[in-house]
């Protein structure tokens, strides 16, 4: 590579493990987001349990199972707001609110932004309200939005659509909706699709994208959960 020549961008591979869990991999770096416990009814396959970095958006058991990561290579774990860099990836975390079982308490939801290979990926966690204009501005125009669409205590289908319109990502990947093996009480994806006015696209095993292959208009990508039913 000659001097001054820009570094070649690698593909970003995004695998949905089920529920709110994703593995985002590029080159030798991998980030596991919101790993779940086996009590959810699913198991993270060994090949996806390898991670350099783990992000945890809340203390909900099915979004904070750091023990699900392979023990032979302990990852760096991020749980709170701030700006971080580890294993070749940059992360920004923003605190919002989410539903709490205690009426007088407001639990924490952390929105994580992963910046790697020239692509900004936003994992919204499970907020129970629309993000404020300031919070949306803080996101910094992510190209890929991992969007909760079926949480009964989180965003409604209409709220989820409003988040898409407010954030204007290039790719929307739904999460936190009812799917085989998942024992959590979640809405079906069809409720969101109806509100969005879209037909269900072909389900893909994973999303592989580079900055150069990002679509011009917002595209909905449905992924098949890689988590194996127990």
Domain range for 62: 12-229
Give a yes or no: residue 2 inside a domain: no
Whether 210 is covered by a domain: the verdict is yes
Taking only the tens place, the pLDDT of each residue in 179-212 is 999 999 999 999 999 999 999 999 999 999 999 9
Q: Is residue 215 part of a domain?
A: yes
- 140-to-44, 113, 115, 136, 155 alpha-carbon distances in Å: 31, 9, 11, 7, 21
Q: What is the pLDDT of residues 123-156, one digit of tens each?
A: 999 999 999 999 999 999 999 999 999 999 899 9
Q: What tens digit of pLDDT does each residue of 42-100 get? A: 999 999 988 989 999 999 989 999 988 866 667 899 999 999 999 888 999 999 865 54
* Strand ordering across the sheet containing 207-209: 76-78, 53-55, 29-33, 21-26, 12-18, 207-209
Q: Looking at the domain assignment, is residue 3 inside a domain? A: no
In a domain, 23, yes or no: yes
Q: How many domains is the chain built from? A: 1
Residues 6+ apart with CB under 8 A from 47: none
Question: Tokens 């690698």 sit at which residue?
Answer: 10
Torsion of CA 150, 45, 12, 145, to 10 degrees: 10
Q: Is residue 6 in a domain? A: no
Residue 188 belongs to a domain with what CATH number? 3.60.15.10
């Amino acid at each position: 590579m000659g001097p001054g020549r820009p570094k070649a961008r690698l593909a970003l591979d995004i695998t949905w493990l089920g529920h709110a869990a994703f593995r985002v991999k590029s080159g030798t770096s991998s980030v596991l987001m919101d790993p779940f416990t086996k009590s959810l009814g699913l198991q993270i396959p060994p090949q996806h349990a390898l991670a350099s970095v783990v992000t945890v958006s809340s203390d909900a058991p099915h979004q904070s199972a750091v023990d699900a990561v392979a023990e032979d290579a302990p990852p760096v774990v991020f749980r709170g707001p701030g700006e971080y860099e580890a294993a070749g990836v940059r992360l920004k975390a923003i605190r919002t609110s989410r539903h709490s079982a205690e009426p007088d308490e407001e639990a924490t939801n952390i929105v994580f932004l992963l910046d790697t290979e020239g692509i900004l990926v936003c994992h919204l966690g499970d907020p129970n309200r629309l993000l404020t204009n300031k919070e949306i501005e803080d996101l910094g125009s992510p190209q890929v939005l991992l969007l909760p669409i079926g949480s009964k205590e989180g965003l409604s289908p209409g709220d989820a659509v409003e988040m898409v319109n407010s954030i204007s990502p290039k790719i929307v990947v739904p999460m936190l909706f009812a799917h085989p093996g998942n024992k959590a009480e979640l809405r079906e994806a069809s409720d969101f699709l109806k509100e969005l006015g879209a037909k269900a696209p072909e389900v893909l095993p994973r999303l592989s994208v580079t900055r150069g292959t990002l679509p011009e208009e917002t595209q909905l990508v449905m992924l098949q959960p890689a988590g194996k039913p127990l």
